[in-house]
Amino acid sequence: MSKRPPTEAAPPAVRRRLGVILVDPLPVVRAGLARLIDDRPDMEVLVEAGSAAEGLERIARVRRSRVVILIGLGLDGEHDAGWLIRTVRDRYPLFAVMAMGANADPTSVSRALFVGADGYVDKNVDPEEFLLAIRRAADREMVIIGPVSSAVGEIADGIERRRDMDARLTEREREVLAVAAQGLTARQIATRLGVRERTVTTHLARIYGKLGVGSRLAAIKMAARSGLVSVGAPE
């Protein structure tokens, strides 16, 4: 009776490298992070972009499931970091999103987490710690690494304040308040939003009543503390 040849063990499955997307306004930062990440055997940079619009356009071309998107809080303007985080979270719920900055204040971090980021990592941390943060985010852990990690309580309070304000104001009222925070007059706000000036003043009056304040400045300060608006944001 002939012996059967020994069954060969199946080769171990090779796991695809973790895909990383970098969106940051500073080319030097993107280049440095890309080099750091691509030097690791378990991850690779798929996309680099310097603005929210460019990042969103390039993210749409990615055909991967295991992806971490790093979004720099330095993105500003109408389509800032918060806008991009919220948009990515809505369109690509399976991707992990992590905000990054340099000594960011707790308000900015709480805003990023509120709109959908899975965590925050500071650009000043040790490179290995930065890479570990990316891996943890890929596993959908909540990650807060850097100097701001000591202010977790303040960040949590900021998220709660923002949720409270978000619930009190309508979408249109939040929009009016965000434009008002740029220092525009009621007439300029009306022109920007395509409505009548009287409509804007009515919205502002309702905002003051809901927030329990008596002036535009007080309303903007309260919204800025909660991370609902960015004061002085450019057009």
Q: Give residue-wise pLDDT tens across range 117-142.
A: 888 999 999 999 999 999 999 988 88
Burial of 102 (C-beta count, 10 Å sphere; 0-12/13-18/19+): middle
Q: Which domains does the chain have, with CATH numbers?
A: 18-155 (3.40.50.2300), 169-226 (1.10.10.10)
Mean pLDDT is lowest, of 121-135, 169-183, 219-233, for 219-233
Residue 113's pLDDT is 83
Cβ(38)–Cβ(44) under 8 Å? Answer: yes
pLDDT digits (tens, 9 = 90+) for 57-107: 999 999 988 999 999 999 988 789 988 998 998 899 889 999 999 988 887
Task: Look at 31 and 8; give whichever has higher pLDDT.
Answer: 31
pLDDT digits (tens, 9 = 90+) for 177-201: 888 888 888 899 999 899 999 999 8
Q: Mean pLDDT score of the chain, rounded to an integer?
A: 84
pLDDT digits (tens, 9 = 90+) for 23-39: 999 999 999 999 999 99
Q: How many CB atoms lie within 10 A of CB 160?
A: 13
Residue 184's pLDDT is 86
Cβ(109)–Cβ(155) under 8 Å? Answer: yes
